[in-house]
Amino acid sequence: MPNRLELTGITKQFPGVLANDHVSFAVKPGEIHALLGENGAGKSTLVKMIYGIMQPDAGEIRWNGEPVVVANPKAARKLGIGMVFQHFSLFEALTVLENIALGMDAKIPSRELESRIRAVMETYGLALDPHRTVATLSVGERQRIEIVRALLLDPQLLIMDEPTSVLTPQEVEQLFTVLRTLAAEGCSILYISHKLHEIKALCDTATILRGGKLVDTCDPKQETSRSMAEKMIGTGLKDIVKAEGGAFGPPKLVVNRLSTIKTGHFDVAVDDVSFTVRAGEILGVAGVAGNGQNALLDALSGELIGDDREAITIDGFGIGMMNTTQRRKQGLCAVPEERNGHAAVGDFSLSDNSVLTARDRLGMVVLGLINSGAAKTYTGKVIADFAVKALGPASTAGSLSGGNLQKYIMGREILQKPSVLVVSQPTWGVDAGAAAAIHQALVDLAAAGSAIVVISQDLDELRALCDTLAVINMGRLSATRPVKDFSVEEIGLLMGGVHGSMETA
């Protein structure tokens, strides 16, 4: 049987960058093939050429053994290549059915289309009401629309571009089941990701790209996450360097019986949460998305102002009724999960974004006037220290890639040397090399005497980074214990809401 897809010597040159340099690999029928690499390794370019969005400068694409030229996405769909993009192109006010109809090349009567959609959903266990409005759906359900749209064309190859970056663990599990079913029926899957444990769990083969070149094609089940990560970044992965046996200082951030009020229909409020973080300590808050993490971050950062001054204290000083600006002056900085639009203003320059959070702590505003020189100098330092790929302090936040913007935001807060730092998903969508740098910066900040709270859904990250750990479930926080005392199973049970004897611990 010929290979489903075979690339030979694919090369693509952009002005100043060789995005793909003689890349060759093959995907067999029914194979789940991972395409692995850091941001900027050339994965997206390669996939865009397979899907016909771009044309290669050199090299050959063979489809089921025959050489083909994929002129455009329509031609790709005709061949039987489907793609699910990382960013969905959906219409919020329209129904699922209308969204799918808009994306079909052929005009199909809506009744026939609906029965075909229902058949596809039935086959793959993709629950979705075709008449629901997209605005009412979760991110995972929205992704299912894109998957159904691709499956309606009976693809022989399905390309998934970082499909899990926005999903909850349960949704990831459901997605994997669908993908495995598809593969068992002979559909090949090209799976782009940099989440190594997912690739180990799902994929049969992994092709690793670095700097546009193919580094290795391997069997992920034979490799460790670490060995694949090292192939991705090209050097040995740096371990987090932690001073061993360092004793913690006195309690720095003390949260005592903190509760919030439900703000929206889909929000989970924080319910009677207490914990203590000492100087030099990194506390991890684990939990499945949507269990009150957002409310906890907002309550700590000051976006939600409480009614009890003593519910949150820094060095014994009550800040529970202060707003964000006052809390920043007291030494508490925070990084919310959503980086573009919440942590940074996309249309503003990086310099202006620095002024927004660092103005008081670093004296960037004098008598109501912005000291733009100071802002520019500080932003330049953030860019240099955190290796942010940006043209300079004047480039807009929105022009940065997700990973680079995250590095800038983390740098902007860490270099303010806050005495308490609260961060949510610090390395979400950031590649392995950059994640290691962010982790190291957090550890260094703690070593200098700050108290740090890391809210994350990535257990590997929390176990590597944190000293102590607590689990949040339905707005309630488990007792805090040293990370070493937790087994993965125990954390998993706590995330699922089984508190057991932990309540009294």
User: Where along the sequence are the contacts to another protein (CB under 8 A)?
Assistant: 89-94, 98, 101-103, 107, 133, 135-136
Question: Which C-beta is closer to another protein: that of 132 or that of 381?
Answer: 132
Q: Say how far apart CA 207 and CA 50 lie, in whole Å.
A: 15
Question: Which C-beta is closer to another protein: that of 14 or that of 317?
Answer: 14
Question: Which C-beta is closer to another protein: that of 47 or that of 421?
Answer: 47
* CB neighbours of residue 23 within 10 Å: 24
Query: Smallest gap, in angstroms, from Cβ of residue 324 to another protein?
Result: 23
Q: Are 322 and 330 in contact (CB under 8 A)?
A: yes
Query: Smallest gap, in angstroms, from Cβ of residue 336 to another protein?
Result: 21
Q: Say how far apart CA 258 and CA 327 lie, in whole Å.
A: 16
Question: Which C-beta is closer to another protein: that of 102 or that of 505?
Answer: 102
Q: Say how far apart CA 103 and CA 114 lie, in whole Å.
A: 14
Question: Which C-beta is closer to another protein: that of 105 or that of 173?
Answer: 105
> Residue 169 is which amino acid?
P
Query: Smallest gap, in angstroms, from Cβ of residue 424 to another protein?
Result: 25
> Residue 365 is which amino acid?
V
Question: Which C-beta is closer to another protein: that of 136 or that of 181?
Answer: 136
Question: Which C-beta is closer to another protein: that of 267 or that of 271?
Answer: 267
Question: Which tokens in the block code for residue 209?
Answer: 């790209």
Q: Are 397 and 351 in contact (CB under 8 A)?
A: no
Closest listed residue to residue 458, CA positions, set 303, 309, 216, 286:
286
* DSSP assignment letter at 493: H
Question: Which C-beta is closer to another protein: that of 92 or that of 308?
Answer: 92
Distance set, CA 109 to CA 95, 97, 105, 503 (Å): 16, 11, 13, 57
* ∠ CA 142-146-150, rounded to 5°: 160
* DSSP assignment letter at 307: S
Buried b or exposed e, range 25-41, using 16+ CB within 10 angstroms: bbbebbbbbbbbbbbbb
Query: Smallest gap, in angstroms, from Cβ of residue 23 to another protein?
Result: 25
Question: Which C-beta is closer to another protein: that of 16 or that of 250?
Answer: 16
Query: Smallest gap, in angstroms, from Cβ of residue 322 to another protein?
Result: 27
Q: Say how far apart CA 265 and CA 49 lie, in whole Å.
A: 42
Query: Smallest gap, in angstroms, from Cβ of residue 347 to another protein?
Result: 13
Cβ neighbourhood burial of 340 (10 Å; 0-12, 13-18, 19+): middle
- Beta-strand relationship, 420-424 and 369-370: unpaired
Question: Which C-beta is closer to another protein: that of 92 or that of 239?
Answer: 92
Distance set, CA 191 to CA 2, 310, 362, 466 (Å): 20, 49, 44, 30
Question: Which C-beta is closer to another protein: that of 90 or that of 466?
Answer: 90
Query: Smallest gap, in angstroms, from Cβ of residue 29 to another protein?
Result: 29
Question: Which C-beta is closer to another protein: that of 250 or that of 264?
Answer: 264
Query: Smallest gap, in angstroms, from Cβ of residue 396 to another protein?
Result: 13
> Residue 342 is which amino acid?
H
β-bridge partners, 310:
none
Query: Smallest gap, in angstroms, from Cβ of residue 50 to another protein?
Result: 18
Q: Say how far apart CA 415 and CA 452 lie, in whole Å.
A: 14
Question: Which C-beta is closer to another protein: that of 399 or that of 440?
Answer: 399
Query: Smallest gap, in angstroms, from Cβ of residue 91 to another protein?
Result: 4
CA atoms within 13 A on the CB side of 87: 3
Residue 185: phi, psi to the nearest 5?
-85, 0
Query: Smallest gap, in angstroms, from Cβ of residue 86 to another protein?
Result: 13
Q: Say how far apart CA 407 and CA 428 lie, in whole Å.
A: 11
Query: Smallest gap, in angstroms, from Cβ of residue 102 to another protein?
Result: 5
Question: Which tokens in the block code for residue 321?
Answer: 């009724």
Query: Smallest gap, in angstroms, from Cβ of residue 34 to another protein?
Result: 26
Residue 205: phi, psi to the nearest 5?
-140, 150
Dihedral, CA of residue 353, residue 355, residue 357 and residue 362, to nearest 10? 140
